[in-house]
A and B are shown apart, each in its own frame.
Chain A
């Protein structure tokens, strides 16, 4: 203990620090390790994006010096960015990513709202049991869920989806080998992954809607749809909007679904942006280009964070 208080005394002797600031020492190790594995890779990634790095030159040489000079890779300025931004492949990936955000978020909000309305309906009994069942998939590891869904969309005759189709008299579909069928498969899986979170938030928002408003509207003769549009929706708008920002960010950064399903295929058509950067570097050895793509993706992830701070009143909790 004495060493700690001695350190505290020493800190106190620094003019603008108080004795309590010694507590910063308890936080610093965690902060340092976290930054070392988050901040440093960002800087390194940024560095690589300005070089012509590929395994042959990047991993040449050994030790700290080679790390700092990016091996034998050469500085090429903004060439990678210019290259990427004039490449049709990039714009395809960029477009597919935003399309995926749009479709999957719409699907997620629609489905979760419907589910939430069902499990809060006053006509339904046993709501607590239903609700705890419904959020069960939250406890499953994503890699498990996604490999299972890949089996469901198995391109061969007897995946679960194709069995359902044949049961209803339709012919089976090679889900993961067609561009848009694979895209549909991504959307369904993403919706299934995200619905427990969305339902939890929507249900708690729905429970906060004042009962009196609904009763008054019923007295005035408003039907279910009118009450939904004029009472329910306005009251749950804010929390649902907040959840939508979070889930949009999740869709934008989706990696596992395309990667596990068909590596963003067929023929790289469905590579969402994070998958695109990853594959460019680690499958096609273009580290410089891959890094440039990842940096572009990071800018958008940063924008989501900023939006989250603005809309989610993130700072509220810190001011306690």
Chain B
């Protein structure tokens, strides 16, 4: 159901995007005709054209750093981060080699599985076929990056984060949205307060956190880090999901109750299915909390357990790293996040207006 909705939305987007040139051309031809007939002064049109060009230039200048990093990755220059060649707007001979360096080999090695039949000397040995998707050495890349290692660590942090956080957030959001109880307003207020200011709170508390983690001996544990991330994700996401659930009409639940559904079935068959989009958004935000956090991960984790952001930072500290490889690494890390964010954004546009308070 959700996938269908997403597909429809994407379809609409593509249609709007594809027909844009045609519509623009039509508009301009109207304008040209109006000027010819003398209904519209030409100076007015010129002003519009110049301002539009100016505004476009400003926007492009703002986004230039992203373009620059992309070009740096594609140019594949062998020079290091601190002695790169001079920049050109388009790479002279584009290559994807830096990206192959980042991803490295994608080879599923062949395993042999042996099964002995009891009480006999017979044994079967299966040899699973090795699957070779991408062999980095084919492209002249000898020592690929540690990207996959970091990726694995990041997944091992982010997945428990999501599981823990969701099990804390969903019941709380439901109760805050639908029930009236002791301290409800106070808890909501605390959560909103934490949502609005508090980016640096985690860093300021880090000394206390670090000392505690070391004393309990869990400072190099990915699971302990995941619990911390889940805890920090609670206020904002509980609030977000609560706001979303507020938008579901109470009448659906009342109808279910009239039909004799017990409370837990109201939740599983009315509330959860109807807040799929809200749940998806919260899911993405919680996942990104664990996926992109740097400071705490860098302080707590040892080299073996570095997550992707820490790996990225370690690269920029390494003076010999080629620019192109650094850029490719950074982009491979960031691009899935951009996509996830753009997706999530559609759902929160309404919910997070001005102060995030409406609702």
Residues of A within 8 A of B (CB): 1, 4, 17-18, 20-24, 26-27, 29-31, 33-34, 36-38, 40-45, 48, 53, 58-59, 62, 66-67, 71, 115, 118-119, 121, 123-126, 130, 133-134, 136-144, 147-152, 154-158, 160, 163, 192, 195, 201, 204, 239, 242, 246, 249-250, 252-256, 259-260, 274, 277-278, 281-282, 287, 290-291, 294, 297-298, 301, 304-305, 308-309, 312-320
Contacts and interface: CB of A to CB of B under 8 A. Distances in A.
Interface stretch (B33-41, B137-145, B200-208): B200-208
B188 interface: yes
A9 to B, nearest CB: 14
Given A29-B168, A29-B172, A34-B235, A144 B333 contact: yes
B198 interface: yes
B179 A20 contact: yes
A142 B316 CA distance: 15
B185 A319 contact: yes
Interface residues of B, number: 105
B52 A123 contact: yes
A134 to B, nearest CB: 6
21 contacts: A23-B181, A24-B182, A27-B184, A27-B187, A41-B205, A121-B51, A123-B51, A134-B62, A141-B309, A147-B315, A148-B65, A242-B355, A250-B199, A250-B200, A274-B203, A291-B208, A297-B204, A298-B205, A304-B197, A305-B197, A317-B357
Contacts of A18: 181
A320 B185 CA distance: 9
Given A246-B197, A274-B200, A48 B207 contact: yes
B263 interface: yes
A214 to B, nearest CB: 17
Contact of B204 (A133, A137, A151, A294): A294
B84, B180, B207: which has the most chain A beta carbons within 10 Å? B207
Contact of A314 (B87, B196, B228): B196
Nearest to A125: B52
Contacts of A139: 337-338, 341-342, 345
A143 B52 contact: no
A301 B175 contact: no
B48 A123 contact: yes
B299 A282 contact: yes
